Each structure stands twice: as C-alpha cells, then as structure tokens.
Amino acid sequence: MEIKTITQWLAKSGYTFAFKGDEHIEVSGFASLNSCETGKITWIKKRENYEKLENKTGINIAVVQNGLELDIPNQIVATKSKEVFFAILHHFWGAEKKPGFIGAGTFISPEAEIDSTVYVGYNCSIVGKVKIGANTVIENNVTVSNAEIGENCLIHSGVVIGADGFGFAFGENGLPIKVEHFGGVIIGDRVEVGANTCVDRGTIENTTIYDDVKIDNLVHIAHNVVLQKGAVVVAGAIICGSVQLGEDSYVAPGGIVKNQLQVGNNAFVGLGAVVTKPVDDYSVVIGVPAKEIRKVKLGDK
C-alpha cells in the first residue's frame, strides 16, 4: 500500500501529525529500528537510537518523534510518536479477534450475560451471573465469576477475576477462620488485564476498576481495591486490600502498596517500592519503606 493510505487513516482517526515526503511511496510492512529495511515503516523516538546505527541507508519510512531533525526521506512526525506508530501497526497488521467466537473447552453459565460481540478463547470458565460488554476479548484459560466487565476490554490468558480474597478472622485458639466474601468485581470500559493476574472480589463492597485502567502480567489486586480512571499497575506489583489508586497513578514493577492506603492522582510508585503511608497527588515515591523524592515530571511514566 502507499503511505497515503496510512496518513489518510491517521487523519480520519483524529491523530495529530505532520507528513514529510512522497505520499505515493510503497509500504510493505513494519520493522524495529535495528532491523529496518527499505519499504518497512519503523519508529524513532530518540536521536541517539538512530545515530548509533551502523547502516542507515535502508530506513526510508519512519514515524519520528516531534523535534528530531533526521535525514529520512519519508517521515510521519508526531508528538505522541509511540501511540501513532503502534496504532498504525494495530490497524494495518494486527490480528483481529472474531466477534462472537467461543473456543473449545469453554464453559459459560446459562445466567451469564455476554454481548454477542464478545470473543472468548479456549478453556475458559465464566461462572454465575457474570456480565461482559460489547467487543471485549477474553483470551485462553481465563476464569471469571462474581464480576461485571465493560466494553472494549482485553483480558489476557490465565487471568482469574472474582475469586475470594485472602480474608480471615482468628479464633480463640489462634487459628485462622475464613471470612466469606459477598462482594464482586466491577470493571469499566477499555480496561486491560495482563496474563496470570488475579483480581479478587470484595468482601461486602465491590472491588472496582474504572475506565482505561491498564494492569500488566502477574499482578495481584486484592479485595475491595479501587483503581481510578487511567491508573496503571505494572508486572509483579501487589495492591493490598482496600487500597485506592488515584486517577492516572502508576505503580512500577514490583511495587507493593499496604492495605487501607490511598495513592493520589498522578502519583508514581517506583520500582520495588513498599508503600506504607498514603501518597500525595503527583508525588514520586521510591524505596523500602517508600519515601517521596520529588513531584512527577513529564516522561516519568
């Protein structure tokens, strides 16, 4: 296809960019910067990534970060260059999930309400009064119970949503006695939950994940947690019971937030940090125990 096919789609989709070059140049596919060849579209975020290449002659089509002045004949220049590049890849080369597909080995309870456009992969269990909204994708080996999932969500393989949390009282003999859970899990629209992540149901109130939250692989979201709109939780993080993460907050890989705490809007919890006190809006906290070192800057996330 010609590159004008891509730029016309970007413009129609509302992306902000500028194009420099020949709109009739042919695009045959995509490639990483290190392995790019003529006719493939690639992405350049930093000047040093481009300049350290031994052979630049094969790069003739690129999505380029705004502000870089590079000697490339055909450029799509954008401030949000990563978003633009991967939107192009998804639209023109991404694998489409067939709406309404139900994979072999999957069990869906009769009382579940699943939109006709939902894709459900292989060997899944959707048990009880589960509700799943339009265009959501449930990949393989997923278990969902006691939950409502919104529209345009992506639930990766191996996820467990709606199991009981770790709740116990202690008897006179000191032995733990299980606390029954009666709440559920409410997930908004455009939420992504990574592979082998667990999202526990609430004890009485619901565990709630608002719109546009992104959760990575191997994350634990405990009972009664609230993740506000746009929060991001990255691999290996543990969000303990009744924590509230504010809008657009970010928990880096391996971060742990102690139960009952609140992490503010746009706050940033650093790599491996152990949060034992509330975190203010726009604060960056690191260490064990976590301490504020500064306020959030552009590019921290």
Q: How confident is the model at residue 170 (pLDDT cuts 50, 70, 90)?
A: confident
Is residue 35 assigned to a domain?
A: yes
Pair 26, 116 in one domain: no
**How many percent of the chain have pLDDT more than 90?**
82
What domain count does the chain have? 2
Pair 255, 278 in one domain: yes
SS3 string, the chain, reads CEHHHHHHHHHHCCCCCEEECCCCCECCEECCHHHCCCCEEEEECCHHHHHCCCCCCCCCEEEEECCCCCCCCEEEEECCHHHHHHHHHHHHHCCCCCCCCECCCCEECCCCEECCCCEECCCCEEECCCEECCCCEECCCCEEECEEECCCCEECCCCEEEECCCCEEECCCCCEEECCCCCCEEECCCCEECCCCEEECCCCCCEEECCCCEECCCCEECCCCEECCCCEECCCCEECCCCEECCCCEECCCCEECCCCEECCCCEECCCCEECCCECCCEEEECCCCEEEEECCCCCC
Pair 157, 35 in one domain: no
Higher pLDDT, 253 or 37: 253
Of the candidates 156, 181, 220, 223, the residue annotated as catalytic is 223
Pair 89, 113 in one domain: no
Is residue 98 assigned to a domain?
A: no
**Domain range enclosing 27:** 3-93
What pTM was estimated for this model as a whole? 0.84
Pair 12, 132 in one domain: no
Please report, for the domain that includes residue 281, its CATH number.
Answer: 2.160.10.10
Is residue 100 assigned to a domain?
A: no
pLDDT digits (tens, 9 = 90+) for 115-157: 999 999 999 999 999 999 999 999 999 999 999 999 999 999 9
Position 58 scores a pLDDT of: 80
Least confident of 68-72, 187-191, 283-287, 291-295: 68-72
The answer on pLDDT for 98 being more than 90 is no
pLDDT digits (tens, 9 = 90+) for 228-274: 999 999 999 999 999 999 999 999 999 999 999 999 999 999 999 99
Pair 157, 282 in one domain: yes
What is the mean predicted confidence (pLDDT) over 52-66?
86
Is residue 99 assigned to a domain?
A: no
Position 171 scores a pLDDT of: 82
Is residue 223 annotated as part of the catalytic site, yes or no?
yes
Higher pLDDT, 174 or 146: 146
Position 168 scores a pLDDT of: 86
Please report, for the domain that includes residue 44, its CATH number.
Answer: 3.40.1390.10
